[in-house]
Structure 1
């Protein structure tokens, strides 16, 4: 039989994912020992690993050609299925059949290969921290997006407002991205430009695997991967055989609209060994569960408005004109349409009864479309591979915030408490005494990104000891943010509330057509970088890895703002140039084929930027109070330094696999939003420092045939280490030493699956299994700046998010024709914790919150060949 337990802890550089080896029998005392060890690590274990990409990645072989250096991953013929890394030297045919049967009984996957170091390597031999999941594992966990993945990945959280993954607590709503998001080798993350910039969230369909790299990745992945990176790896065409994958998923809930998901993928040779294709398409319609009420009557006017529809298409061609040359053009298109936001009005709703309402007349619809063509070329010359990746991202994201609530919040700031309409916003939403009011907003974010990376890397060890990679990188990102706010009833409302015309109330500056406020910024990020990385085996088992990256980065922008809400027309332009250097060093020792220890240090960074002008007249009092003549025109890059200790181990004939690490990250010169309280304007500047320290653990165990246990544990303590002040005169405390960065302290997951032996029970000759998964995410660790009474951004109406407990149950059968049919229940206890909380202004009575999707039940069918 085969078995596994991998407990992974990680930090600093990247990470580990389990190698799922085969193993022989295990006597009961050893099983007891394995369970005892699992108990010693508090029962926490790790994520399952992904199978290697046969077509586009090399796969590690277990051969050794020299006494000091293992042979590198030998490339399989391009577009063919490479053999997985062997755990044991050789096996007889009968043993192989037994292992295959055991694998079927236990559900174990093949050996894990990842490319987090820019070359295919067995996960248990890479001294970095990375979690990886293939499509089968994602389906088993019910994961459709990265929000689902974070539930079982320690060190990973998610900001639903900006749709940004956060690695190891390095969260910032200002400046450039702290986490890199990659589709294959193309970065797609967005800069915090303008207002409400959101990242695109790729669907997890027809994925080779998803990798979560924890810790700074600046050496090999550049700016934006300051805290880590999330990589979506897609399958390449197969030159030798046809492969296919299909998924159909239908679910329903008594608390909302039904959901369905249908997708199919197919690929194979057009001309064997010369030309192949792969194409996939998916359609998902996710039902909503939030209803709209009329704020004047309280009657329901619409239901389940926060629906979410996604369409995805991907196609690729692999051409192999020569044995040592492959050319792979591909294209990806994704469209996501949302009917309304996932937030509800807290005072109007009853989460314990799954009743979620909003009474704003505004629907925050959104449309996110992106188109990503790319070209990969690989040419082998002797012991060297030349690799080129070229890509262009074309994205339009139309979204918005609730302009109606924003306007009423602003008007309420000036409304006398004796007014019959005070307050304009109550805990239950809009004051029902008000006449109909509607002030919609629209935000357009565009990305036009061109990237090119050219790498040269060794295919086998130089002098039987040295593996290396070097390359150049160019990126030209053009981004546009346009915010437009309508206030068509401004004159009517200012007369009603203040007995003034809109012109008198706003200072006389007119609207721009139908828009009361316009703010548009066009920006350009351009980077040129060179990088190199080398790994040398000093003595048998002892390796030293060193890398460095030099980047020249230019950022420039133009901006204009106009409209009555802006008080005047303002324009601005600016930019910044920087030349950061990001090194990394790792020392690892392979004690034996089952155990490795490592220590690493690395540096990460994110590019700086420039600020749009602050309205001088509106904000002059704030600037004077803080001893500033004007707001800063630009902000510099910030950086992190990360230290990590880790180990990866296999015990009891590979039934138990453990990988763990501790990390300490020092974050300096942090890009933060400075807040001017009187005029309500913010800008970005460099203030303060912080640390993030903790550990990540993952484990997997097969104690007996058919029983699989996987578990994870993570802890993060991310907090400021010094006071941060807005004012140059030491006034305007933004963050106090010891305040939390707002990320959860603890995360934990436990999954248990039992495959019932066929001789006991089966369905249509299929093997029946039962699986349950539990995930826990704690509330933020410590006091956040919004809850610190000494800070400028203190909000007595701000609520810390609550801890999350998520439980699923799945019963299914795996059939011999490669079909898998399962029935599941997600959010089994039907819990509704507060996942996010926000208000338009400090102290606002109206709280907008979000929660987990209410309990839903469904059936999932998958087929793969």
Structure 2
């Protein structure tokens, strides 16, 4: 006999089953509705990119400094591929293809912020990859480290002196490349591929893949990514008759690998080790000869380079309950091997030492002409390695119920070695002298000649070892008079030593030199700021801060080779050292959001007094450079950044900056810096730059959406040199324009784009090596397609 449950019970069971069956759908529907509402709100509001400018995650609108934060998504969607692209979309940041440095090639540019521009001595802008300082000195053989935009969460451009938290060499500001962190919960696989055709040149391509793997949910995750790219070439090498010897010589290939681990053994402790590898293989530089047709370079020796960067860091964050302890231990290595075409100065300089028989000497004119026409290379092998350690202790975020104080204190130590080896062969020089029946060691033919002056045709050999140590203690304290008004007082005390051991010889080094120099520096760098949150959407601030960079020693300048250049500067010999320099920056700004975060307006005014500027003095005949202190300068200007979402899906942006940076006395010219007089424009600083852009996202149907976007960037005129006699003295203004559009469906996003739509080919800079004046242009128009996928 079957026993049936009572009717009431049966109805209850049925109700439970129906509820159980329907609940997931109801819950999913509710979650979908909530997500749709959230997406709608996000689509109608401006994106807020969180920053770590003050060593803690914050809304940039609450930070008392001028900041531009560009998300990795923005970089990818706007096809911002390198730091030169970044300088066109961010106010008051610029780059210079270093004159006298064989510039216009990757890894040779100097970066400037707010007119604090110097191609000499220590850097004026700090470069960081995560917590790893990649800042290197402005030596004559290489420029700033340029990390690629790979697996980047955001780029932060911090304007004004950042010495309190980032140390010396952050006088103009700091640029932080912040990578994506491993996610402890979500498994993902992101891929991206891009290809484009360069007008008059070869193809560009980029391909990357990044995997995020939670190994133990909420405890351990691994993030690993690889990337390979090619920037097509558009410069052709020609011979003396104009015949093309090689096409598209300035192609650049690069590869990147990043591995990051995140381990959270407890709620209070996180350990994050990571490594990064980057190799940039440039087949030649992007400079061409001014007197030749566009995009042609006449050279006897090609100028390739290989720039390899390796970093390793261990970041530890420990929540102590009453404060947060952070330890950052890092190491980086840079290996930069490059070749310069030295024919214009090595061979020519040697020929000038020969006295023709027509002038009472022993050298026939045919020999002099043959020597002047020989090819010569400058082989530069650069090695940089640095170990650094930082410890920070930060209070809990402000809580009016707990304390009116917040604070941060830290210790920092770094040890950096830079080794440079230079060899300058003049190919065939021994055979050429022998062909004309002369002994190259004959002092009657060649002044100061001696046996073995040109071993294996080498005319110059130099070995230089720079060693810089820094140690500092720093801190900041905030006192809240009210929850909306607080005062910040910060300072860093720094001690540093820099040494240069050098050895150079062979004929073009004159008598040669073997020596060592050591300088010690110390500095106290304070900062004061007052921040007033007028209401939750409006903040005004004022800041006063000091910046500083270390002095150093100069590479020996041979009087024999560079005598005429030194005499023209009023010197008998190159100065052995140069002094530290410093500046004070005064800034006021406001940051406002209106219409429920549909409109934002940020503005900052600044005035910087720069004392004892370190500048490079380029000697054009012999192609040597020494550093000197070129007096004082004043830099003043403004930055404005506006974003708006007048309609859901439509984002409008406009940003711009104006800088007037001038020398304020005549001390520089007394130190041999030509053109360093009161009122002279600081070199490499555009008067203005501006960018406008628009993007519209719209639904197409089903789960598909589309977008169209466009932008125009303007860069103002500048002076590329203090010397008005050089062609690079006047740099013209120029502009670029980009457009793109695409579709997003399922896991994919397909787009087409055009960079430099109007194919602007303005010669924007004139790198000069000896008597050869070169030109540098923006890359020609490119048309391409990209595909992103997320799994």
For normalisation by structure 2, the TM-score amounts to 0.88
2:525 aligned with 1:582, yes or no?
yes
Q: Secondary structure at the match of 2:61?
A: helix
C-alpha change, 1:110 and 1:657, in structure 2 (3 Å) is closer
Q: Is the 8 A contact 2:675 2:723 kept in 1?
A: no
C-alpha change, 1:466 and 1:248, in structure 2 (3 Å) is same
Moved more, 626-635 or 204-213: 626-635
Q: Secondary structure at the match of 1:702?
A: strand
1:466 CA drift (Å): 1.5
Give the one of 468, 474, 477 matched to 1:525.
Answer: 468
C-alpha change, 1:671 and 1:783, in structure 2 (3 Å) is closer
Q: Secondary structure at the match of 1:114?
A: coil
1:711 CA drift (Å): 1.1
Q: Is the 8 A contact 1:239 1:269 kept in 2?
A: yes
Q: Is the 8 A contact 2:389 2:412 kept in 1?
A: yes
The runs of 5 or more residues in structure 2 that have no matched partner are 1-29, 98-102, 359-367
2:228 aligned with 1:283, yes or no?
yes
Give the one of 393, 409, 427 matched to 2:332.
Answer: 393
1:123 CA drift (Å): 1.3
Match of 1:593 in 2: 536
Match of 1:828 in 2: 757
2:298 aligned with 1:369, yes or no?
no
Match of 2:297 in 1: 358
1:492 CA drift (Å): 6.0
Q: Is the 8 A contact 1:745 1:778 kept in 2?
A: yes
Match of 1:7 in 2: none
Note the 1:441-452 alignment, pairs <5 A: 441-452=378-389
Deviations 1:691-748 (A, max 9, x none): 11101111111112222111111101111111134557xx775411111113100101
State the number of aligned residues: 737
1:800 CA drift (Å): 2.2
C-alpha change, 1:523 and 1:176, in structure 2 (3 Å) is same
2:558 aligned with 1:615, yes or no?
yes
C-alpha separation in 1, matches of 2:291 and 2:69: 41
2:242 aligned with 1:303, yes or no?
no
2:543 aligned with 1:604, yes or no?
no
C-alpha separation in 2, matches of 1:736 and 1:805: 30
Match of 1:850 in 2: 776
Q: Secondary structure at the match of 2:256?
A: strand
C-alpha separation in 2, matches of 1:733 and 1:494: 37
C-alpha separation in 2, matches of 1:280 and 1:260: 17
2:347 aligned with 1:347, yes or no?
no
Structure with the higher fraction of residues in strand conformation: 2
With a CA cutoff of 8 Å and minimum separation of 6, indicate the structure with the bigger relative contact order: 1
Q: Is the 8 A contact 2:283 2:303 kept in 1?
A: yes
C-alpha separation in 2, matches of 1:357 and 1:678: 24
Match of 2:162 in 1: 217
Looking at CA atoms only, which structure, 1 or 2, has the larger radius of gyration? 2
Match of 1:649 in 2: 592
Match of 1:42 in 2: none
Deviations 1:107-156 (A, max 9, x none): x6653311000111111111111111111110111112111111110011
1:598 CA drift (Å): 0.6
Note the 1:101-180 alignment, pairs <5 A: 101-102=39-40, 110-160=47-97, 161=103, 162-180=108-126
For normalisation by structure 1, the TM-score amounts to 0.80
Give the one of 429, 432, 439 matched to 1:490.
Answer: 429
C-alpha change, 1:863 and 1:497, in structure 2 (3 Å) is farther
Q: Is the 8 A contact 2:487 2:531 kept in 1?
A: yes
2:38 aligned with 1:100, yes or no?
yes
Q: Secondary structure at the match of 1:700?
A: strand
C-alpha separation in 2, matches of 1:122 and 1:497: 74
Note the 1:349-748 alignment, pairs <5 A: 349-350=293-294, 356-410=295-349, 437-461=374-398, 463-491=402-430, 501=440, 503=442, 504-505=445-446, 507-509=448-450, 510-616=453-559, 631-674=574-617, 681-725=624-668, 727=670, 733-742=674-683, 743-748=685-690
C-alpha separation in 2, matches of 1:586 and 1:810: 41
Q: Is the 8 A contact 2:459 2:506 kept in 1?
A: yes
Q: Is the 8 A contact 1:252 1:857 kept in 2?
A: yes
Deviations 1:29-80 (A, max 9, x none): xxxxxxxxxxxxxxxxxxxxxxxxxxxxxxxxxxxxxxxxxxxxxxxxxxxx
1:414 CA drift (Å): 6.8
Deviations 1:541-564 (A, max 9, x none): 111011000011011110011111
C-alpha separation in 2, matches of 1:575 and 1:735: 27
Q: Secondary structure at the match of 1:348?
A: coil
Q: Secondary structure at the match of 2:250?
A: coil
Match of 2:692 in 1: 750
C-alpha separation in 2, matches of 1:702 and 1:416: 73
1:339 CA drift (Å): 0.4
Moved more, 677-686 or 340-349: 677-686
Give the one of 276, 281, 305 matched to 1:337.
Answer: 281
1:498 CA drift (Å): 13
C-alpha change, 1:493 and 1:348, in structure 2 (3 Å) is farther
Q: Is the 8 A contact 1:237 1:278 kept in 2?
A: yes
- CA RMSD after TM alignment: 2.8
C-alpha separation in 2, matches of 1:774 and 1:204: 21
C-alpha change, 1:338 and 1:732, in structure 2 (3 Å) is closer
C-alpha separation in 2, matches of 1:266 and 1:220: 33
Q: Secondary structure at the match of 1:580?
A: strand
Moved more, 628-637 or 476-485: 628-637
Match of 2:786 in 1: 860
Q: Is the 8 A contact 2:720 2:729 kept in 1?
A: no
C-alpha separation in 2, matches of 1:622 and 1:197: 23
